[in-house]
DNA sequence: ATGGTCGCGAGGCGA
């Protein structure tokens, strides 16, 4: 069965409920990986998905982070946090597992909805956390393929990394201002997934330059076309072999009440 | 105009 899978950082599911509803309606996706739900189970809009025939699994601990998977092709073996997922506590105090990863098997695909730590600044303690988090995730993903080389795995989410210079509107601006998302350690952490056998399933169908998935709310970044490509669907070899198309729903970034991220959709053949 | 925008939740943090 041909399926469509998508990832979208909604920046609050409650604030974006109507937009998510409309997106499901028009996109016809079978699986949606959501990031930044910004809620707990108590105030998660379950009916939004159930009314449309989707099963949904959520992992949210507080008003920050929060990840979910909605699927109408099955939802098995839900897993909250991956093996050896690092913890974080500001100033090293009270380190806790954050709600940044949820996995489930949907239609034979091991789907992970991922919200990679931001890093905040190059010299912030959040940056080593980000790098360690990615290293541990890569370890988990590589283990999946060692156990089952033909496994269909989709690592989908907000990676908070722009892997190539063309993935930001002006690399010199980022370099000059010592900005995150483009540093070599971050890029190496991303490319390690490719070395482990994973492929960016959307890029071949959405070539740059000037193609982005995120635009900052400030400084008129969207109308000025100053964005970043930081949301990705990385597929294992068996999944990559099924990819037939992809699109970035840039229209979703327009208008009042938009998330700062656009959905990334990947089409898979039988 | 040395900021400019969001969301959460009720002041400041996170992005």
pLDDT of residue A42: 96
- For residues A2 and A29, the answer to whether their CB atoms sit within 8 Å is no
Q: Does the CB of A46 fall within 7 Å of any strand B atom?
A: no
Q: Does the CB of A94 fall within 7 Å of any strand B atom?
A: no
The pTM assigned to this predicted structure is 0.97
In the structure, how far is the CA atom of residue A135 from the C1' atom of nucleotide B13, in angstroms? 27
Checking each nucleotide's C1' against the CA of A115, the nearest proves to be B15
Checking each nucleotide's C1' against the CA of A11, the nearest proves to be B7
Instruction: Judge whether residue A126 has pLDDT over 80.
Output: yes
pLDDT tens digits along A207-259: 999 999 999 999 999 999 999 999 999 999 999 999 999 999 999 999 999 99
For the record, the structure tokens of A151 come out as: 């496994």
Which residue's entry shows tokens 């169908």?
A205
In the structure, how far is the CA atom of residue A200 from the C1' atom of nucleotide B11, in angstroms? 41
pLDDT of residue A36: 98
From residue A217, alpha-carbon distances to A102, A170, A227 in Å are 27, 17, 10
The predicted model gives A39-58 an average pLDDT of 98
In the structure, how far is the CA atom of residue A36 from the C1' atom of nucleotide B15, in angstroms? 11
> With the CA atoms of A111, A117, A118 and A121 taken in that order, what torsion angle do they form, in degrees rounded to the nearest 10?
-150
> What single DSSP character describes residue A85?
P
Q: Does the CB of A218 fall within 7 Å of any strand B atom?
A: yes
Instruction: Judge whether residue A1 has pLDDT over 90.
Output: no
- For residues A37 and A68, the answer to whether their CB atoms sit within 8 Å is yes
User: Whose CA is nearest the C1' atom of nucleotide B14?
Assistant: A64
Spell out the alpha helix ranges (H) of chain A: 17-27, 46-50, 126-147, 171-176, 184-195, 237-240
| CATH 3.40.50.620 is the classification of domain A3-268 | no
Q: Name the residue ranges covered by the structural domains of chain A.
A: 3-268
- Computed over every residue of chain A, the mean pLDDT equals 97
Checking each nucleotide's C1' against the CA of A39, the nearest proves to be B8
Instruction: Judge whether residue A16 has pLDDT over 80.
Output: yes
């Amino acid at each position: 069965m041909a399926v469509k899978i998508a990832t979208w950082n909604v920046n609050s599911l409650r604030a974006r409920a109507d937009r998510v509803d409309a997106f499901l309606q028009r996109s016809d996706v079978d699986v949606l990986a959501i990031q930044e739900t910004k809620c707990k189970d108590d105030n998660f809009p379950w009916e939004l998905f159930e009314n449309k025939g989707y099963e949904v699994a959520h992992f949210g601990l507080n008003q920050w982070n929060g990840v979910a998977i909605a699927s109408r092709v099955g939802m098995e073996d839900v897993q909250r946090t991956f093996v050896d997922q690092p913890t974080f506590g500001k100033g090293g105090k009270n380190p806790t597992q954050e709600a940044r990863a949820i996995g489930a098997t949907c239609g034979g695909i091991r789907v992970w909805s991922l919200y990679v730590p931001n890093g905040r600044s190059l010299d912030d303690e959040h940056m080593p956390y980000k790098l360690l988090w990615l290293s541990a995730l890569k370890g988990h993903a590589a283990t999946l393929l060692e156990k089952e080389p033909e496994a269909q795995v989709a690592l989908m989410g907000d990676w908070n990394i722009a892997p190539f210079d063309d993935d930001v509107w002006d690399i010199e601006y980022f370099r000059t201002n010592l900005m995150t998302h483009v540093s070599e350690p971050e890029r190496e952490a991303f490319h390690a997934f490719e070395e482990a056998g994973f492929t960016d399933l959307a890029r071949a169908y959405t070539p740059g330059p000037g193609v982005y998935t995120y635009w900052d709310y400030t400084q008129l970044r969207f109308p000025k076309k100053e964005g970043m490509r930081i949301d990705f669907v990385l597929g294992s070899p068996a999944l990559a072999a099924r990819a037939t198309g992809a699109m970035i729903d840039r229209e979703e970034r327009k208008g009042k009440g938009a998330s700062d991220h656009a959905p990334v959709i990947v089409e898979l053949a039988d």
